[in-house]
């Protein structure tokens, strides 16, 4: 009986719904957190400490540019090595886009792969140029390398950073000068 009431009342804008939402917000709120042995209580400082913790954990180290012909891989011949280092063609970029799932969550710009596919006639050349620029420079624009992290408590009363499960959402890079 309670489950049927819950299912009926959960999606309505009722006191029951707001009580559920408030309880969930209270349970998921992080009031104090221990990071690297330091107790942090202020909400603004908790956010900064979490950001710094994950920045340090996932920082990118500088690495030299190494090609397949530089002795990195000795099991392939020169012809195959050159083929691996060739830039993809615009057709290969388009084919890769069409291989992506269309209905996944949108990126930081609010667009998902379905938008890119539907508006390919208008934005395909800009999108392809951005991808080919990456292959030529080996660098992503800073705004393209964005990941949002939500922390979900593994259990009620989580107090340490290790008691929180990070859930990441990575965006897709597209810079649009015109809209569909």
Q: Is residue 9 part of a domain?
A: no
Q: Is residue 105 part of a domain?
A: yes
Query: And the tokens for 88?
Result: 């993809």
Q: Report whether pLDDT(157) > 70.
A: yes
Long-range contacts of residues 101-107, Cβ cutoff 8 Å, at least 24 apart: 105/169, 106/171, 107/171, 107/172, 107/173, 107/174
Contact 71, 62 (CB under 8 A): no
Q: Is residue 112 part of a domain?
A: yes
Q: Report whether pLDDT(75) > 60.
A: yes
Main-chain dihedrals φ then ψ at residue 167, nearest 5 degrees: -120, 120
pLDDT tens digits, 3-50: 666 666 666 777 877 888 888 787 777 888 898 889 999 889 988 998
> For the chain, how many structural domains are there in total?
1
Q: Is residue 159 part of a domain?
A: yes
Contact 149, 163 (CB under 8 A): no
pLDDT tens digits, 91-109: 999 999 999 888 876 766 6
Contact 56, 48 (CB under 8 A): no
Residue 115 lies in domain: 88-180
Q: Is residue 52 part of a domain?
A: no
pTM higher than the cut 0.75: no
Q: Is residue 45 part of a domain?
A: no
Main-chain dihedrals φ then ψ at residue 170, nearest 5 degrees: -105, 135
Q: Is residue 174 part of a domain?
A: yes
């Amino acid at each position: 009986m309670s489950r049927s009431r819950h299912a009926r009342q959960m999606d309505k804008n009722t006191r029951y719904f707001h009580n559920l939402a408030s309880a969930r917000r209270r349970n998921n709120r992080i009031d104090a957190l221990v990071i690297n042995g330091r107790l942090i209580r202020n909400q603004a400082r908790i956010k900064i400490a979490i950001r710094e913790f994950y920045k340090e954990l996932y920082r990118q180290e500088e690495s030299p540019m190494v090609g397949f012909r530089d002795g990195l891989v000795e099991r392939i011949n020169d012809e195959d090595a050159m083929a691996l280092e060739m830039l993809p063609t615009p057709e290969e970029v388009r084919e890769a886009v069409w291989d992506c799932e269309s209905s996944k969550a949108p990126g930081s710009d609010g667009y998902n792969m379905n938008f890119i596919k539907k508006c390919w006639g208008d934005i395909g050349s800009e999108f392809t140029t951005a991808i080919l620029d990456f292959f030529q420079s080996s660098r992503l624009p800073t705004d393209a390398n964005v990941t949002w992290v939500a922390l979900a408590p593994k259990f009620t009363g989580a107090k340490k950073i290790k008691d929180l499960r990070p859930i990441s959402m990575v965006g897709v890079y597209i810079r649009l000068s015109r809209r569909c």
